[in-house]
């Protein structure tokens, strides 16, 4: 087992480090993290609009009329339904900063480029002129937004490297000088994407968004929504954690755009009264796989707290139970430790796989409702999180999963606990011998 770990560490660690340090993945990940408060707030408004409690629905209907849900769907429209705008802003800012360019110019270039390639529809019959359908700003436009923002900042970097900018005298105020120095780069970015828009208008697709959605976003989200893909992702995440690398961050930088797109599709289905389409999405991963954090360690934490004979494990359980309730489990991963521990790596890898399979089949067979697209914080405690995204049956599923987690970890925990007890006895005997030698 140790030889296998050494080989995996040697082969995988350099790849994982490169992924974690990748400029583009880092920009995408950080932009989603920055936008997450808005997405969470918008999701809670959807929850308020479609809370599965009959008494609540009847009260709101009788009090505010048939259109009462609009009070909550409008805040959701300016958050979840416009998520691509916030992601584009974040990527433009992050990438520009990483290249030491003017971050505001990066944001404006990325935003302008996205709007240039986004199809606009005429609303002449309503007297509203030209407008952008909300769907193009949400999940359907997400991949276009990511690609366009990255390319826009890369064009700016190229023009900066070539020195294609207007340089003002030192006597000119800095804010004025900055705006003129960005004039040529931003103009070239807009010209480039305007030609892209014109080019796609001559094709059968009609626009960039349709092309990307059909040929890139749809296949990727279809793949990301499958159970086999989820299992592969969880294995990679667990292996990376086993070597002390933050597997969730590394994997999340690739998978989060896909999973959040699937979440947005579920939220849109709930808002329009349609059938919820996706089992696997960000809520499935956060609330029904990572029960207690990476490795689904909630059951292990309970074992440390109530079943450990080792003093150090009991102390670790007391220390960890508070953060563990909020799915923060680094104290267990590094304190037990699980990292580079051949005994504990096995259940650490196995438990999330079992929980994901149980959750998938519970939802696919109708035992548990599919997640409703509510983007609750990942720190929401298990059981509560299950209730918020899948009703009372989701809460029951979380309870079952915690019991499964404890059962899977138990035999490995006992081995580690017995070894720890043995080591503590040896340490006590050695300390006793040293004390007797000093007294003698």
Residue 72 · residue 48 · CB < 8 Å? yes
pLDDT given at position 63:
87
The radius of gyration computed from the CA coordinates of the chain, to the nearest angstrom, equals: 26
d(CA 415, CA 403): 19
pLDDT tens digits, one per residue of 113-164: 999 998 876 554 555 556 677 778 887 788 899 999 999 999 999 998 888 8
DSSP state of 422: H
Angle at 161 between CA 158 and CA 164, to 5 degrees: 85
Which residues does 132 contact at the CB level (< 8 Å), separation at least 6?
A: 115, 118, 119, 120, 121
Distance of CA 268 to the CA centre of its chain: 18
CA dihedral 147, 148, 152, 158 (to 10 degrees): 40
Do you know the residue count of the chain? 440
DSSP H helical ranges for 78-141: 83-98, 103-117
**Across residues 166-189, what is the average pLDDT?**
76
**Residue showing tokens 């074992």:** 303
| pTM of the entire predicted model | 0.77
Of the CA atoms within 13 Å of residue 301, those in its CB half-sphere come to 25
* C-alpha separations of 173 from 180, 216, 367 in Å: 11, 45, 66
Token digits for 66? 């048939």
* C-alpha separations of 104 from 89, 189, 365 in Å: 9, 14, 49
pLDDT surpasses 70 at 77 = yes
pLDDT given at position 136:
80
pLDDT given at position 17:
61
Instruction: State the sign of the Cα–Cα–Cα–Cα dihedral 6, 286, 97, 112.
Output: positive
Token digits for 135? 């769907």
d(CA 21, CA 344): 28
pLDDT surpasses 60 at 2 = no
Residue 417 · residue 310 · CB < 8 Å? yes
Beta-strand relationship, 121-122 and 130-131: antiparallel
Query: pLDDT confidence of 220, banded at 50, 70, 90?
Result: confident
**Local structure of 131: helix, strand or coil:** strand
pLDDT tens digits, one per residue of 266-322: 988 888 889 999 999 999 999 999 999 999 999 999 999 999 999 989 999 998 898
**Residue showing tokens 């340490």:** 427
pLDDT given at position 124:
47
**Across residues 209-231, what is the average pLDDT?**
87
**Local structure of 408: helix, strand or coil:** helix
> Cis bond leading into 337, ω under 30°?
yes
Q: Name the least confident of 24-33, 106-115, 296-305.
A: 24-33
d(CA 212, CA 141): 9
More confident residue, 253 or 381: 381
Residue 291 · residue 405 · CB < 8 Å? yes
Query: pLDDT confidence of 4, banded at 50, 70, 90?
Result: low
pLDDT given at position 295:
93
**Residue showing tokens 């959040």:** 260
Q: Name the least confident of 49-63, 230-244, 275-289.
A: 49-63
pLDDT tens digits, one per residue of 358-415: 999 999 999 999 999 888 888 889 999 999 999 999 999 999 999 999 999 999 999 9
- Work out the mean pLDDT of the chain and round it to a whole number: 85
Query: pLDDT confidence of 210, banded at 50, 70, 90?
Result: confident
What percentage of the chain reaches a pLDDT higher than 90? 39
What percentage of the chain reaches a pLDDT higher than 70? 89
pLDDT given at position 282:
93
Residue 94 · residue 111 · CB < 8 Å? no
More confident residue, 277 or 438: 277
pLDDT given at position 126:
53
Each domain of the chain, given as residue ranges in start order, spans 1-22+225-440, 79-222
d(CA 160, CA 176): 17
């Amino acid at each position: 087992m140790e030889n296998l770990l050494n080989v995996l560490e040697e082969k995988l660690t350099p790849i994982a480090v490169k992924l974690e340090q990748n400029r583009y993945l880092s920009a995408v990940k950080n932009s989603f993290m920055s936008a997450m408060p808005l997405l969470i707030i918008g999701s809670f408004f959807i929850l308020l609009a479609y809370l599965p409690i009959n008494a609540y629905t009847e009260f709101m209907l009788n009090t505010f009329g048939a259109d009462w849900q609009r009070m909550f769907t409008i805040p959701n429209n300016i958050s979840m339904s416009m998520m691509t705008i916030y992601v584009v802003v974040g990527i433009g800012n992050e990438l520009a900063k990483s290249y030491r360019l003017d971050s505001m110019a990066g944001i404006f270039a990325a935003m302008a480029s996205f709007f240039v390639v986004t199809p606009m529809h005429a609303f002449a019959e309503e007297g509203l002129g030209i407008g952008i359908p909300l769907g193009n700003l949400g999940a359907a436009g997400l991949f276009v937004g990511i690609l366009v923002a990255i390319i826009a900042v890369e064009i700016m970097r190229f023009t900066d490297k070539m020195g294609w900018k207007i340089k003002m005298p030192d006597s000119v105020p800095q804010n004025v000088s900055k705006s003129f120095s960005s004039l040529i780069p931003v103009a070239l970015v807009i010209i480039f994407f305007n030609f892209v828009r014109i080019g796609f208008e001559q094709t059968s697709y009609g626009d960039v968004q349709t092309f990307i959605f059909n040929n890139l976003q749809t296949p990727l989200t279809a793949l990301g929504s499958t159970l086999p893909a989820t299992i592969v992702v969880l294995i990679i995440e667990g292996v990376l954690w086993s070597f002390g690398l933050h597997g969730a961050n590394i994997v999340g930088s690739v998978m989060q755009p896909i999973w959040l797109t699937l979440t947005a599709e579920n939220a849109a289905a709930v808002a329009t009264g349609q059938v919820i389409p996706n089992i696997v999405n960000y809520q499935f991963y956060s609330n029904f796989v990572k029960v207690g954090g990476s490795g689904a360690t909630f059951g292990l934490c309970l074992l440390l707290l109530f079943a450990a004979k080792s003093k150090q494990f009991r102390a670790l359980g007391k220390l960890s139970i508070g953060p563990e309730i909020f799915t923060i489990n680094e104290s267990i991963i590094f304190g037990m430790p699980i990292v580079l521990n051949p005994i504990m790596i096995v259940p650490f890898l196995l438990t999330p796989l079992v929980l994901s399979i149980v959750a998938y089949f519970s939802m696919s067979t109708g035992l548990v409702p599919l997640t409703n697209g509510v983007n609750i914080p990942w720190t929401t405690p298990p059981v509560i999180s299950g209730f918020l995204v899948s009703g009372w049956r989701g809460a029951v599923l979380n309870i079952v999963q915690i019991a499964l987690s404890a059962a899977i970890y138990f035999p490995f925990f006992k081995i580690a606990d017995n070894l720890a007890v043995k080591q503590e006895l040896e340490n006590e005997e050695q300390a006793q011998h040293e004390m007797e030698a000093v007294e003698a």
